[in-house]
Amino acid sequence: MPTFPIRRSRWALPFLWPLSPGTPTASVEDGRLIVRMGLLGGADLPLERVAAIGTMRWPWWGGLGVRIGRGLVGFVAASGQVALVELTEPARVRAPLGWDATSLAIGVEDVDGFIAALAAARRDAPRTAASGRSEG
């Protein structure tokens, strides 16, 4: 399944690279949304937990790396357009310690492509007959 690199600004590189060497990524695979940012944090959630997908602008003053707020966890290494993933219920993510999130801001390079891949994977995920929810 598709893997999307997280966009990095040149300002973030010297600060984030030691804690997140290589390329941080977000991927949709095997019925899961997986975000990896090295030691900074990550998420691994079943697609059935995704309630809605949209976009938002991540402000420069919001910071870079894995950022936490009231229910929001941002996986960002540059300001600008990010994918906003709303969850059906709070989920535990690593930021870098455990944190309960109700939404994720993911700053991938190809926001539209990521949203399309996530939407397609949700649409194609197997469903249970009794609940109508995706299996994870």
- Residue 79 per-residue DSSP state: S
User: What per-residue confidence (pLDDT) applies to 66?
Assistant: 86
Q: What is the mean pLDDT of residues 86-108?
A: 95
Q: Are 47 and 15 in contact (CB under 8 A)?
A: no
**72-76 vs 65-68, strand pairing mode:** antiparallel
User: Does residue 126 have a pLDDT over 50?
Assistant: yes
**What is the tens place of the pLDDT at every residue in 22-61?**
789 999 999 999 999 888 889 999 999 999 999 999 998 8
Q: What is d(CA 3, CA 104) in angstroms, rounded to the nearest whole number?
A: 17
Q: Taking the domains of the chain in order of start, what are their residue ranges?
A: 3-124
pTM: 0.85
> Is 106:75 a contact under the CB 8 Å cutoff?
yes
